[in-house]
A and B are shown apart, each in its own frame.
Chain A
Amino acid sequence: DTEVTQTPKHLVMGMTNKKSLKCEQHMGHRAMYWYKQKAKKPPELMFVYSYEKLSINESVPSRFSPECPNSSLLNLHLHALQPEDSALYLCASSQDEGGYTEAFFGQGTRLTVV
């Protein structure tokens, strides 16, 4: 099973709403990632969790709050977002943070902030 599952697939939220994106993998991977991708652009790293601890925060605004409840789950809590935050949010996992193995990506959540 090389699957990373993201929910929901689509999300429309107002600027005052609070919502969460969820990501799950059962490959035993110890590194998990959140990427943001705008249309026609490459994915941009937001956060990296390694062994359930936040390893990298790419200076992401505090209105995005990641959480890793256990080794299989990764959440991204959203609050007071701006329209420019509308994008495809991709979750990924890899065997561990320090290796050279590939990352597996989920299908993404298409977020629209209105």
Chain B
Amino acid sequence: AQKITQTQPGMFVQEKEAVTLDCTYDTSDQSYGLFWYKQPSSGEMIFLIYQGSYDEQNATEGRYSLNFQKARKSANLVISASQLGDSAMYFCAMRAPASGTYKYIFGTGTRLKVLA
């Protein structure tokens, strides 16, 4: 069975500081994709960043980077220089199509609040 675990229900960060949101995953598949999504109060799920299981380098997208530690099965999201607009719910997700599981499996989310 595949599972995503986010152990931080809520996080606070000061504006302009960096913050790390934790994500661990469990899968027996060798090939999978890991994703982070941001969900503001408006409801839309906004794709942030993707890491493939065979990617040797950590993914980066602007202020977002993914700290991928395959042996530990962790895929933490790092947001640098936090902005007030970063306040939202953040979901880690996984997909492992090779196993026949085509759905995106989500963690329980971390609510981030950026303080001015």
Residues of A within 8 A of B (CB): 31, 33, 40-43, 45, 48, 50, 55-56, 58, 88, 90, 92, 97-108, 110
Contacts and interface: CB of A to CB of B under 8 A. Distances in A.
Which of B35, B44, B46, B103 is most buried by chain A, counting CB atoms within 10 A of its CB?
A: B103
A45 B43 contact: no
B45 interface: yes
Contacts of A56: 102-103
B97 A97 contact: yes
Interface residues of B, number: 23
Interface string B34-51: 010100001111110010
Contacts of B37: 105
Contacts, number: 61
A79 B35 CA distance: 34
Nearest to B103: A45
29 contacts: A31-B102, A33-B103, A33-B104, A40-B109, A42-B91, A42-B106, A43-B106, A45-B104, A48-B103, A50-B102, A55-B102, A56-B102, A88-B43, A97-B97, A97-B102, A98-B97, A98-B102, A100-B31, A100-B32, A101-B33, A102-B33, A102-B35, A103-B47, A103-B104, A104-B47, A105-B37, A105-B46, A107-B43, A110-B43
